[in-house]
Amino acid sequence: MGSKCSCCACHLCLFEYQTPVMLVISSKRLGFLFRLIELLIIAYVVVYVCWYQRAYQDQDSVISSVSTKVKGNILTNSSVEGVHVWDVSEYVIPPQGENSFFVLTNMIVTPGQTQSSCPEIPSEFTNCKSDSDCKEGFNEIRGNGVQTGRCVQYSDTIKTCEVMSWCPLENDTIIPKPALLSAAEDFTVLIKNNIQYPKFSFRKRNILHHINSTYLKNCTFNRKTDPHCPIFRLGDIVTEAGEDFSVIALKGGIIGIFIDWSCNLDFSEHFCIPKYSFSRLDNKNPENNVAPGNNFRYAKYYKNNESIETRTLIKGFGIRFDVMVFGKAGKFHIVPTIVNLGATLAFLSLVTAVCDWFMLTCMKDRDYAKHKFIHPDKKGDGVPLSSMESTSYGTP
């Protein structure tokens, strides 16, 4: 029988079917345990993996393009500049950003700077008593220029080292309070955002289909009444981020405008709509803060009648709004489905292991082990099962 069999292994391979022999035990306790664990695993798969985690979906990340347009004017009346109306091209710097825009809210203006020499701003590094305290050519990293080696009067009582630099130097110890452009709170910004999920050939923009031009001309975003209007009042953004505009306007800050495009593309695309949220990104905590807020210096250059270059230096404080578009779209796909179901199926094999252990340990009185385990080799060579089997149907 064995030799006959081996010569046609290939043939057998195709026309034979192997299935495990199962021991069926009629036990309410065991049966209940078995089905309970099975049910738990299946429920977990259905509820958690499929419904909650949507593990059956293939995912794609969003590709986005953003453009922004700020609107508004401010009239200021400062001692240095007089009456001045600020428009977009002055307070949005740079005029065009890719995913972020900066709105000037406060500033220290130093007009009429030229390349010359002047006394340093007093500090522990720059105060002096005589020329010997200053060093020609010395370039203090926290200073404002290159020292000439002379010690000169800064004010009636204070002497500081003279430096070559753009003079007069900016004195940024006193920040205007309230912020000069605190009325920027009422500015509005239109955010145009086009997204795509290339894997699913899906494109959409944040100006939804049902929105018409008349509505767009007059609406302002409001989480309750106008949740789909793409025009935001700066003050509302800052308030939703949990900040006070008049406070953040003083020293500046960074606010994140998050646009969440998470979508389940197994449903209609009408349900795929952007969700806006706002939060402050930089640290407002005053402790441990070097250079708190958000500011930078920029200058406007002029040439006067004698062709000498002068400049107006501006230390601008303001709010940088970073538009962050994120989101994942999911759509049914066979590979993640199989990977996740397969992994869960593998766990079903654990059920048998648990129940076997329960059966062999807790139901010892029935001695199921004798039925489950067959020991052909036990006690050597009595009447092996094989011979019995041979007897039974091996040799009819």
**Could you say which residues in the range 71-130 bind a second copy, by CB under 8 A?**
71-75, 83-85, 87-90, 92-100, 102, 115
For 45-68, b/e burial (b = at least 16 CB within 10 A) is beeebbeeebbbbbebebebebeb
- Judged by beta carbon, residue 124 or residue 156, the one nearer a second copy is 124
CA–CA separation, 205 and 218 (whole Å): 19
Q: Which is nearer to a second copy, 185 or 265 (CB)?
A: 185
Map the footprint of a second copy across residues 24-63, applying CB under 8 A.
24-28, 30-35, 48-49, 53, 55, 63
Residues 246 and 182 sit within 8 Å (Cβ to Cβ): yes
Distance CA 146, CA 38 (A): 79
Q: Work out which of 109, 152, 211, 247 binds a second copy, going by CB under 8 A.
A: 211
Q: Which of 359, 265, 255, 204 is nearest to 59 (CA)?
A: 265
Nearest to 108 by CA among 170, 151, 35: 170
Query: How far is the C-alpha of 31 from the C-alpha of 53, rounded, in Å?
Result: 31
Mask of contacts with a second copy, 271-300, x by CB under 8 A? ----------xxx---xxxxx--x-xxxxx
Work out the number of other CB atoms within 10 angstroms of the CB of residue 110: 21
264: tokens are 């389940």
How many residues make contact with a second copy (CB under 8 A)? 159
The residues in 310-369 that bind a second copy, with binding defined as CB under 8 A, are 310, 313, 320, 322, 324, 326, 334-335, 338-347, 349-350, 352, 355-356, 359, 366-369
**Pair type for strands 328-332 and 146-153:** unpaired
Residues annotated in a binding site for ATP: 69-71, 188, 295-297, 315
Window 213 to 272, contacts with a second copy (CB under 8 A)? 213, 216-217, 254, 256
Tokens of 68: 């922004």
Q: Give me the residue label for tokens 């290339």.
A: 198
- The structure tokens listed for 122 are 């007093």
Closest distance to a second copy from the beta carbon of 299 (Å) = 5
Amino acid letter, residue 306:
E
Q: How far is the CB of 312 from a second copy (least distance, A)?
A: 8
Amino acid letter, 79: S
Q: Applying CB under 8 A, which of residues 127, 194, 246, 264 lies at the interface with a second copy?
A: 194
Element (H, E) at 183: none
- Annotation: binding site: 69-71, 188, 295-297, 315
Q: Show the CA angle centred on residue 365, arms to residues 360 and 367, nearest 5°.
A: 50
In the complex with a second copy, which residue's Cβ is closer, 154 or 317? Answer: 317
Cβ proximity to a second copy, 7 vs 334, nearer residue: 334
Residues 137-166 that bind a second copy (CB under 8 A): 137, 139, 141-146, 163-166
Nearest residue (CB) to a second copy, 153 versus 390: 390
Our CB check for a second copy shows the closer of 129 and 270 to be 270
Please choose, from the candidates 23, 21, 45, 20, the residue with its C-alpha nearest in 3D space to the C-alpha of residue 34: 23
Name the minimum Å distance from CB 85 to a second copy.
Answer: 5
What is the nearest approach in angstroms of a second copy to the Cβ of residue 200? 15
User: Does 10 interact with a second copy (rule: CB under 8 A)?
Assistant: no
Residue (19 or 268) nearer to a second copy, CB: 19
CA distance 393 to 396: 5
